[in-house]
Amino acid sequence: MTGNATTRFHNVSLLSVASSLPSKATASADIEGKLSAGLKRLRLPGNLLERVAGVTERRNWAEGESFTEATVAAGHEALRRAGVDASQVGLLINTSVTRTHLEPSVAVRMHHGLGMPSSAVNFDIANACLGFVNGMTLAAQMIEAGQIRYAIIVNGEDADEIQVNTINRLLRDDIGREDFMSEFASLTLGSGAAAAVLGRTDEHPEGHQILGGVTRAATQFHELCVGSVQGMFTDAKALLRGGLDLVVSAWKEAQTDWNWSTMDHYITHQVSRVHTNAIVKAVGLDAKRVPTTYPTLGNVGPASIPITLDLQSKSLKRDDRVLLMGVGSGLNTAMMELKW
């Protein structure tokens, strides 16, 4: 694998980030309780989700809640925190994996719900778990180019249906150990929503400057993690191995342009204990600087990074160096530096 794509920004800042979480918490013990007959038949040990993945619980939408309404709520809160009126926003990008239909875009629902002007460009970006960071990069490029003044990036995920479908399928008599483990990652998914507002640094000196970052692709691994509402099927060992190779390659090449070994905080995409520990070890991060939300929220897809950043934001100090980093199935990796 050769070659990072590198981007630098000079006048773009993250003005706010907000998240909206479901009220219902689903314990891993409850999920494994539903799967007890299948685990017994396959002679698999219990407590796999907590012991192996480190996921104690995740959130699911309760009755009367939905990922669309929660995403709109997160968007309103992000605009409020940024001190930006919806009428000033020139771009809305939705980055959700979850979608209830093929068309129209999820973005149009968010555009309407946020009361944005007809002049605001709106569309979806889909790139698995990297969608939110990719959306931030594209929005930053348009702000830097002078095409827009403000942008809002939103994401809402609903793991409820895939969770139910996976549990039902894993209880079938024709499911073997290999089948079970290929769907194990589906059981770590959680629901949630997040939003972020970007604007010009010279107009918002109180903001958090986006300095830039890198992306890198290893699309020869595009079949290692394939998901739909029916289920997410992975080759976990090959996926982890390919992802680590990709991250290390991107990290090493980025060292010629960036000094990321002494960041104050590393906000990583939240997958599992195994994934997080492997990334920390592979590139030599200080684990104390890598906050985790997967134990109680699971893997919330593209919303993981902004949710974790929002929950961590109260502990961040002015001028802290923050690196957003993650791997998305496909495979792609992205790293973006913020000056808090």
User: What's the one-letter identity of residue 3?
Assistant: G
Q: Is the dihedral of CA 87, 91, 95, 101 positive or negative?
A: positive
End-to-end alpha carbon distance in the chain: 32
Place of tokens 């290929």: 182
Instruction: Let me know if 103 is a catalytic residue.
Output: yes
CA distances for 67 relative to 51, 59, 71, angstroms? 29, 12, 6
Helix (H) or strand (E) holding 10: none
CA distances for 138 relative to 65, 66, 91, 121, 234, angstroms? 30, 27, 10, 13, 29
Residue 147, CA atoms < 13 Å, CB-side half-sphere: 12
How many other β-carbons are positioned within 10 Å of the β-carbon of residue 225? 24
CB 154 within 8 Å of CB 112: no
Chain length of the chain = 340
CB 197 within 8 Å of CB 79: yes
Q: Which one is catalytic: 32, 77, 129, 157?
A: 129
Residues annotated as catalytic (active site), given as ranges: 103, 129
